[in-house]
Homo-oligomer: A and B are copies of this chain.
């Protein structure tokens, strides 16, 4: 194989973005050949923009049957990601899926199992994994520079969304339409990076979600989550769409110091000797390890982002390059988000892995009572501006 041909599912906002860089031939070894959408207006938009450059389909059956591509790129609303990925694997296609992996882990696990059975390449569009800031943090942790992790603290409250944003689509911020709020729609990248950068998932979660606190919506728009890791470290994740201007500050402390990512900068307060060593040897009353404030060089760009993930996915298929964002890892961030909901609903701790059946059951209750009717959902509401 010298080229990976893509079939794109769902030409909403994200789908248009992907189509755009493919149309400019910006993915080496990758080509977009087909697009499917059930909305004729959106297909017409593609035709007007790109003429007959892409094969267009108005239904999934003929799309999947066409074999006009080697891989699918799934850009539909959240709920459909796993079903479409499973169908694609069953038709023998590679799969690159937009985030989040899905809405509940029970279903995402089925997707992961289908991926494993298929032997096909499986990636997820965690474009923030290409961001040099988070790559550097992961580097400093995995190389041991920061030492054993003691605390993580991510304040990510700069996802401001007005009521008019929520009112722009009936499915928005509903249990039936999106399956969650800020955790599902705004935070998937941070929930992924929170565990990817440090290489650890929590062992248990105690979270405090507030539903429709700042906006007239069904789902959570304000969350504080406390977690504990296997090694004794603790963590916090604080997020909302209701504050302005909000904050994006990720602090990680370890045995050898502290790293803070804020304002697009990474700063490493590095201890000259590890804290545990200082503590072992120090005999005085007041005293602390010598600490150096280090400016760590980090690329000034935001990284290659979506296009970079697609390129990496192509390189993986063509050349065996390791995936930067394996699709199977999508379940991790979603597990955190599901656990935060569940901890709030049960007003109690949630141990990981979560009770997927219990989560599914409690989510279904909410879907049944949702203001949005799920039947009308499939593939027909992707044309608003902005899918995050």
The reply to whether A258 and B287 contact each other, CB–CB distance below 8 Å, is no
Cβ-defined partner of A257 (8 Å) among B242, B244, B291: B244
Instruction: Say yes or no: A285-B165 contact (C-beta < 8 A), given A243-B150, A258-B246, A275-B244.
Output: yes
Interface centre among A151, A210, A213, A245, by most B CB within 10 Å?
Answer: A245
Interface: A130 (CB within 8 A): no
Knowing A157-B253, A279-B162 are in contact, say whether A285-B384 is a contact too (CB < 8 A): yes
A243–B224 CB distance below 8 A? no
Q: Which one, A231-239, A302-310, A325-333, is touching chain B?
A: A231-239
Give the CA-CA distance A258 to B269 in the complex, in Å.
25
Q: Is A226 an interface residue (CB 8 A)?
A: yes
Q: A162-B287, A284-B164, A384-B285 are in contact. Are A243 and B222 (CB under 8 A)?
A: no
CA distance A99 to B385 in the complex (A): 56
| Interface membership of A289, Cβ < 8 A | yes
Taking a contact as CB atoms under 8 Å apart, the answer to whether A275 and B164 are in contact is no
A158 — nearest CB in chain B belongs to which residue? B288
Tell me the nearest residue of chain B to A168, going by C-beta.
Answer: B285
- Of all chain B residues, the one with the shortest Cβ separation from A208 is B226
Q: A220 to nearest B CB, angstroms?
A: 13
Number of copies: 2
What CA separation (Å) do A235 and B168 show in the bound complex? 31
A252 to chain B, nearest CB (A): 11
Interchain CB contact under 8 A, A232 and B213? yes
Q: A206-B208, A278-B162 are in contact. Are A258 and B251 (CB under 8 A)?
A: no
Q: How many residues of A contact B (CB 8 A)?
A: 56
Q: Which residue of B lies closest to A288 (CB)?
A: B160
* A282 proximal to B (CB < 8 A): yes
Q: Which of B162, B228, B278, B285 touches A386 (beta carbons < 8 Å)?
A: B285
A290 to B355, CA, bound (A): 43
Are A224 and B226 in contact (CB-based, < 8 A)? Answer: yes
Question: Distance (Å) between the CB of A276 and the closest chain B CB?
Answer: 9
A251–B165 CA distance with the chains assembled, in angstroms? 27
Nearest Cβ on chain B to A374's Cβ, whole angstroms? 24
- For residue A245, which residues in chain B have a CB less than 8 angstroms away from its CB? 257-258, 269, 271, 288-289, 291
- Mark interface residues in A134-158 (1 if CB within 8 Å of B CB, else 0): 0000000000000000110101010
A278 surroundings in chain B (CB, below 8 A): 162, 244
A163 interface residue, CB < 8 Å from B?
yes
Q: Does B243 contact A258, Cβ atoms closer than 8 Å?
A: yes
Say if the beta carbon of A117 comes within 8 Å of chain B: no
* Chain A positions 183 through 219: 1 when the CB is less than 8 Å from some CB of chain B, otherwise 0: 0000000000000000000000010101001110000
A95 to B236, CA, bound (A): 41
Contact between A285 and B164 (Cβ–Cβ < 8 Å)? Answer: yes
Q: List 11 A–B pairs whose Cβ atoms lie within 8 Å, in order of A's numbering.
A: A157-B253, A162-B288, A163-B279, A165-B285, A165-B287, A206-B206, A206-B208, A208-B226, A224-B226, A236-B236, A245-B257
Nearest 6 interchain pairs by C-beta: A160-B288, A245-B291, A162-B282, A244-B275, A245-B269, A244-B289
Binding site for B on A (CB under 8 A): 150-151, 153, 155, 157, 160-165, 168, 206, 208, 210, 213-215, 222, 224, 226, 228, 232, 234, 236, 238, 240, 242-247, 251, 253, 257-258, 260, 269, 271, 275, 278-280, 282-289, 291, 384-386
